[in-house]
Amino acid sequence: MSDLLDVVRGLSKKTDSKIVLVVLDGVGGLPLELNGETELATARTPNLDALAAESQLGLVELVGAGITPGSGPGHLSLFGYDPLKYVVGRGALSAVGIGVKLNAGDVAVRGNFATLGADRIVDDRRAGRPTDEKNVEIVAKLRAAIPSIDGIPVEIYTESEHRFVVVFRAQNGEALGANIGDVDPQVTGVQPMTATAHDPASEKTAALVNAFVGQAEATLKDEPQVNGVLFRGYSDVPHFPSFADVYKLNAACIASYPMYKGLASLVGMDVLPVEGHEDALEGKIQALTENWARYDFFFLHIKKTDSTGEDGNFTEKAHKVELFDELLPAILALKPDVLGLVGDHSTPSKLLSHSWHPVPFLIHGGHGRFDPAQRFTETEALKGTLGLRRGTDVMPLLMANALKLNKYGA
Amino acid sequence: MSDLLDVVRGLSKKTDSKIVLVVLDGVGGLPLELNGETELATARTPNLDALAAESQLGLVELVGAGITPGSGPGHLSLFGYDPLKYVVGRGALSAVGIGVKLNAGDVAVRGNFATLGADRIVDDRRAGRPTDEKNVEIVAKLRAAIPSIDGIPVEIYTESEHRFVVVFRAQNGEALGANIGDVDPQVTGVQPMTATAHDPASEKTAALVNAFVGQAEATLKDEPQVNGVLFRGYSDVPHFPSFADVYKLNAACIASYPMYKGLASLVGMDVLPVEGHEDALEGKIQALTENWARYDFFFLHIKKTDSTGEDGNFTEKAHKVELFDELLPAILALKPDVLGLVGDHSTPSKLLSHSWHPVPFLIHGGHGRFDPAQRFTETEALKGTLGLRRGTDVMPLLMANALKLNKYGA
């Protein structure tokens, strides 16, 4: 059975209309007390309120009932890719999270630096938690020593402390498999394991991993503490039909954090440079404005609504919503044909973490009916004309409202 | 592509929190007159009303739009098993309905006692509708004569009147197939048919069935009326990943009627003894209280809300809801972390049968938002934050609210 993405791909058409999708990361919340108000409801948001009064509203569940989405699955769902079908593994997410662009067929692996004693016995699985600076120094040595193995380019990146990422780049369109056993024994006092392939397609990758381990140990043999590598979390990179292919959109990503830029690049968006530090709200508006003529779709990512929820700071999370509210007029001044506003998951301050609760979704512009929901809040959105839906419905609804989808069937 | 059950299995974790799921059988109703009130809305339920005011509400559709669920699919859906994927056949449901525990690989078959005349011609397909006592007498004779066939243990059970059930027990992990043609010719004046296998996996079972028919006729040859057996409705037993496996729950069933105990045992719940007759409400509360420390999940089944609907007795059905309302404080006194309240289907008195209408669903405890629904009724539930959902969403939502699910993806 074809999923909605396949249907949309067959119906989408290029038009002049422009869509902006703003993702307020983790924007959904919870009241601190029974029947109290959420962060969104507490925030003073005159611009959002005025927008909501003339918009279509609803709620979306990103992955499924009760399922708390990570940032990867949450965004893929918003981009229209069923997160149960398009799975981005840990290794790939680590790579994407530090801004590494991955291509279909590549394999990304999470690594730990370790301390090996006599006979290669693992003494410390985290090599004494080296500083990031030490990590960078070790990575530089490994890059110089292991540029490629057996014709396969090898890329090595610092993540943080003892964590690093290796990317094996597929050559000549021959996809590398990632179904491989761990090198990390998960305990100390034993040797690292030899990686074994669990299917024929992964045999070459297993050989690459084992060769890497040997060459790395040789390279680091004079290091007192950081002298071994352990691997687990191998990810192949699924083929994502691109935004250009599925939606006929020329799409740009405006985000500050590497993870979101990486996810956007996986689906073929151009990642625009953003000036400024951290959430860089003004830099994002500037990037949007300066590139307005060049694209017909913008994914604009706002991070701090999530971070403050993770910190358990209710007041500050509400304040981050208010900061976005101040930004809204500048976005509306560009007159997007359709503006979408949504979260990639909830991050209630009460839970100090992502949660499973549906997030509000708003469509401004396009063609809607009278919508009883008057604010962009969880409780008001419940009354909205868009109802409670899957996250994968967001893109088809934005496309439809922008009149970019042909009729299905005659 | 994985379904929600697979995803939940990968995310579930053992914690100290306790969940109680109360199933009010067939609790959904209909008004007797246009725009009137349902049984639930008519009932005086002060405890339920107070509970609903501080709970999350919604409605669930157990199988699909317009589909009236039997008790089997209704409960499987509530337990999280897609009833379109996990099909329990008529034979297995008959066995489960009389309290027989089935294991993966077994085959259960529905039988009719029949009257055969000269040349094995079927004179009466129901053997003159014998009494239950006569049925028990005949079954005893057959049990003595046919303990096993070809090394396969054979179990024979009285259902009622002319109906009985045979279970062929798989040995050595070799599953028996159930894709077999009928023995019952469905008309009189002809001989019973010889069962034929429709696939290689069912050939052994077909031989067992035919041998059973021959041995039964030999055993009953001196009976004047009950001297033949007819079979149709063969069921193999699907493998149900257990509650322990999927949810990491140590689950107990508290129910009075065999069907519900059987369904619970299919998914690996312990079936607790309940003192008392019929619905045994007090015995159920006693079982819950006495076993409170031993389990972290309780499925508590209330039957009479369904039976009274089937009888077409609107007033009595509303009264059964009131009886449950009186029970509620004793359940809440145990302080479950999460209490779920739902039906396995609707049974409107107006229709004197199960129906397709969604049933109200309530979650108390856990982590919800302000919920506009103020009573546990069909009309109020429509306003609730849980929306209209599939029955298979119930368990993931209870698990999430009990904080027993890890995040999906990073």
Q: Which stretches of B43-187 are DSSP H helices? A: 46-53, 71-78, 90-97, 132-145
Phi and psi of B276, rounded to 5°?
A: 120, 175
* B388 contacts A67? CB cut-off 8 A: no
Q: What is the pLDDT of residues A13-47, one digit of tens each?
A: 999 999 999 999 999 999 999 989 999 999 999 99
Our CA-based measurement puts residue A291 at a distance from the nearest CA of chain B, in whole angstroms, of 30
Query: Is B4 within 8 Å of chain A by CB?
Result: yes
The C-alpha atoms of residue B6 and residue B81 are separated, in whole angstroms, by 10
Mean pLDDT computed over every residue of chain A: 95
Query: Is B388 within 8 Å of chain A by CB?
Result: yes
Domains of chain B: 4-86+240-401 (3.40.720.10), 94-236 (no CATH)
Please check whether residue B77 is in contact with residue B391, taking contact to mean a CB–CB distance below 8 angstroms: yes
Per-residue confidence band for A2, with pLDDT thresholds at 50, 70 and 90: low
- Which tops the pLDDT comparison, B257 or B60? B60
Residue B369 has pLDDT above 60, yes or no: yes
* B64 Cβ neighbours under 8 A, 6+ residues apart: B84
* B1 contacts A93? CB cut-off 8 A: no
Nearest by CB: B369 against A87, A354, A379: A379
* A93 contacts B409? CB cut-off 8 A: yes
- Chain B contact probe: residue of A75, A88, A356 with most B CBs at under 10 A: A356
Question: What's the confidence (pLDDT) of residue A137?
Answer: 97
- What percent of chain A has pLDDT above 90? 87
Residue A322 has pLDDT above 60, yes or no: yes
Give the three-class secondary structure for B160.
strand
Please check whether residue A51 is in contact with residue A363, taking contact to mean a CB–CB distance below 8 angstroms: no
* B408 contacts A67? CB cut-off 8 A: yes
Give the angle subtended at the CA of B133 by the CAs of B132 and B135, to the nearest 5°. Answer: 60
Q: What is the pLDDT of residues A330-388, one digit of tens each?
A: 999 999 999 999 999 999 999 999 999 999 999 999 999 999 999 999 999 999 999 99
Query: Is B368 within 8 Å of chain A by CB?
Result: yes
Please check whether residue A3 is in contact with residue A281, taking contact to mean a CB–CB distance below 8 angstroms: no
Per-residue confidence band for B181, with pLDDT thresholds at 50, 70 and 90: very high
Residues of A in contact with B392 (CB under 8 A): 65
3-state secondary structure labels for all residues of chain A: CCCHHHHHHHHECCCCCCEEEEEECCEECCCCCCCCCCHHHHCCCHHHHHHHHCEEEEEEECCCCCCCECHHHHHHHHCCCCCCCCCCCHHHHHHHHCCCCCCCCCEEEEEEEEEECHHHCEEECCCCCCCHHHHHHHHHHHHHHCCEECCEEEEEEEEECCEEEEEECCECCECCCCCECCCCCCCCCCCCCCCCECCHHHHHHHHHHHHHHHHHHHHCCCCCCCCEEEEEEEEECCCCCCHHHHHCCCEEEECCCHHHHHHHHHCCCEECCCCCCCCCHHHHHHHHHHCHHHCCEEEEEECHHHHHHHCCCHHHHHHHHHHHHHHHHHHHHCCCCEEEEECCCECCCCCCCCECCCEEEEEEECCCCCCCCCCCCHHHHCCCCCEEEEHHHHHHHHHHHCCCECCCCC
Average pLDDT over residues A306-332: 97
Query: Is A352 within 8 Å of chain B by CB?
Result: no
Please check whether residue B300 is in contact with residue B254, taking contact to mean a CB–CB distance below 8 angstroms: yes
The C-alpha atoms of residue A250 and residue A267 are separated, in whole angstroms, by 11
* A38 contacts B409? CB cut-off 8 A: no
In chain A, % helix, strand, coil (3-state, to 5) comes to 35, 20, 45
Residues of B in contact with A93 (CB under 8 A): 409-410
The C-alpha atoms of residue B352 and residue B311 are separated, in whole angstroms, by 6
Question: What's the confidence (pLDDT) of residue A87?
Answer: 86
Is the ipTM value over 0.90, yes or no?
no
